[in-house]
């Protein structure tokens, strides 16, 4: 029960990495707020946590909107009376080069992946600063450290998340707040089959490409959730400003 008596807010918690992390945080004793735009999925994840003996609520929220970010934080404080952990997980991806990427797709990836991380952090930080403690975890990507093919806007947004993490760690470490990010490789989420489809690849061919890394497979959402738990817990008490790579060795090549 590494998160007992703590409250966590997970954005994009309705599926994939966000869902797995919210459920794991609940199992580890945290009371959990899940945000996202899919109400059916959000309530289902909250129910899954509660069926496991935890406490959870779902708040429909769009991280691109400052007022909705503030509302998510305020509702968390109203229901649970505190906020200890923020996991900025919401993200979108469109596989295009600079030439192929539309301005709309550029803006959407920047707004959700980078601006959303900024807006949610901006909403949560005043409470954490007041209490003199807190943990913020940002979900970046291996492609936030090294470039990838046909992913210009995504790489730019996730690279921004890495440096935003470091800047926030410097600014708020003296206030007792730790800020780190996770940089996953390919993970078995709904985003992967959609990426394969948009690239015109058969799923088996796509997986074969993913298997070129040292561990020879894609990751699971549970594996990334465990990395988030490590950063959320006191096990990482002397870590801030770090970009934790969890990618099966993809960046080691």
Residues facing 60 on adjacent strands: 36
Distance CA 178, CA 189 (A): 27
Write the burial class of residue 70 (CB in 10 Å: 0-12 exposed, 13-18 middle, 19+ buried): middle
Q: CA-CA distances (angstroms) from residue 188 to 40, 130, 142, 184, 229?
A: 21, 38, 15, 11, 18
Which two tokens mark 189? Answer: 């989420």
Query: Is 94 an annotated catalytic residue?
Result: no
- The arrangement of strands across the sheet holding 177-184 comes to 56-60, 31-36, 7-10, 85-88, 134-139, 177-184, 243-246
Asked whether the beta carbons of 35 and 60 are under 8 A apart, the reply is yes
Catalytic residue among 106, 118, 154, 206: 154
Q: Phi and psi (nearest 5°) for 118? A: -65, -45
State whether the Cα torsion 213-25-111-165 is positive or negative: negative
Asked whether the beta carbons of 92 and 63 are under 8 A apart, the reply is no
Q: With CA atoms as reference, report the closest residue to 225 among 22, 31, 14, 66.
A: 22
Q: What is the CA radius of gyration of the chain?
A: 17
Provide the angle, in degrees to the nearest 10, between the axes of the packed helices 39-51 and 16-27: 30
Could you give the residue numbers annotated as active site? 154
């Amino acid at each position: 029960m590494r998160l007992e008596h703590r409250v966590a807010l997970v954005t994009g918690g309705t599926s994939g990495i966000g869902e797995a992390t919210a459920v794991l945080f609940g199992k580890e004793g945290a009371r959990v707020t899940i945000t996202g735009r899919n109400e059916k999925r959000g309530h289902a994840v909250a129910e899954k946590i509660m069926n496991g003996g935890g406490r959870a609520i779902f708040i429909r929220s769009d991280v691109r909107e400052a007022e909705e970010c503030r509302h998510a934080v305020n509702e968390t404080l109203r229901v649970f009376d505190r906020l200890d952990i923020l996991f900025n997980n919401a993200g979108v991806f469109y596989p295009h080069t600079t030439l192929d990427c539309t301005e709309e797709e550029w803006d959407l990836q920047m707004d959700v992946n980078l601006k959303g991380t900024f807006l949610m952090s901006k909403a949560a930080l005043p409470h954490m600063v007041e209490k003199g403690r807190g943990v913020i975890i940002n979900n970046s990507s291996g492609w936030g450290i090294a470039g990838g093919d046909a992913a210009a806007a995504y790489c730019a947004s996730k690279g921004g998340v890495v440096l935003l993490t470091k800047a926030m760690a410097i600014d708020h470490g003296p206030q007792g707040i730790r800020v780190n990010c996770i940089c996953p490789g390919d993970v078995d989420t709904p985003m992967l089959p959609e990426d394969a489809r948009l690239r015109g690849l058969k799923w088996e061919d796509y997986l074969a490409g993913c298997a070129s890394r040292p561990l020879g497979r894609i990751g699971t959402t549970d594996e990334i959730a465990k990395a988030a738990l490590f950063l959320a817990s006191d096990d990482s008490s002397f870590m801030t400003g770090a970009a934790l790579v969890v990618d099966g060795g993809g960046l080691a090549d």
